[in-house]
Amino acid sequence: MMSNFEYSVVVSGLFGLVEFNSYMRKRKGQELKLQGKLETIFQNLKKQKKEKLTLLSSGKFHQVFKRGRATVHFDAAFDSQTFRSASGLIVWNGEGEILASQAVHHSNIENPFIAKAYAGLQAVKLGISLGINILEVMGDSKTVIKKCQSSIIDRSVIGAIIRDIQSTKSNYQKVEFSFIPKVNNIYAHTIATEALKRGESFYLERGILEAVRSVLERLWLKPSD
């Protein structure tokens, strides 16, 4: 027969297991929801393929989405030989419709860590340019996301960039920073990689560059292992 202490240990263990299983189900549900949104975006890209899109230089913004909620994914590509990087950004609304995509080039970047931070800064700046009130910023760098979520003054090598990101919060009714796995950040990653390869910055409303679209289609249609 179990003692009171042993009984308490068993009950605590079972309770912890239930809590863990509940957490895993919730996390799995969030991942499936995100994957569903990515599939919706891909289908919208296919529909937009024949539409006329507006291509602007990276410095000529005007508001295409006044008020409302949107999500922006960010990523960065880094060249260690030239110390250049490219930020890749894609913004969509709750229906999976692309509002804008953007690639921004940076020079004198010391490492990929700094490149990711600059991409996060470009993400919140893009949200402001689009006139978005409530923004969810998503990236695959846990360090950058955690620093953006924190209210503690950051004194690391990217501290100044994080402070610039924090200073933009007053422009939003609400801004959230969330981590996503790299496999679910393929759109922003491809935009950044292709932009660095082509040596071009761009800003495109309601779609993405044809070169980026082609890469995404090949990746999306590639059979899984």
The pLDDT of residue 102 is above 70 = yes
Domains of the chain are 48-221 (3.30.420.10)
The pLDDT of residue 57 is above 50 = no
Can you tell me the distance from the alpha carbon of 88 to that of 143, in angstroms, rounded to the nearest whole number? 18
The pTM is what?
0.72
Q: Place 218 in a pLDDT band, splitting at 50, 70 and 90.
A: confident
pLDDT in the model for residue 45: 52
What are the tokens at 55? Answer: 């291509």
Work out the number of other CB atoms within 10 angstroms of the CB of residue 213: 19
Contacts of the segment 144-151: beta carbons below 8 A, 24+ positions apart: 144/116, 144/117, 144/120, 145/120, 145/177, 145/178, 145/179, 146/179, 148/120, 148/177, 149/177
Across the range 142-168, mean pLDDT stands at 94
The CB-side HSE value for 6 (13 A sphere, CA atoms) comes to 3
Tell me the pLDDT of the chain averaged across its residues: 80
More confident residue, 148 or 45: 148
Nearest to 97 by CA among 35, 40, 138, 54: 40
Q: Place 219 in a pLDDT band, splitting at 50, 70 and 90.
A: confident
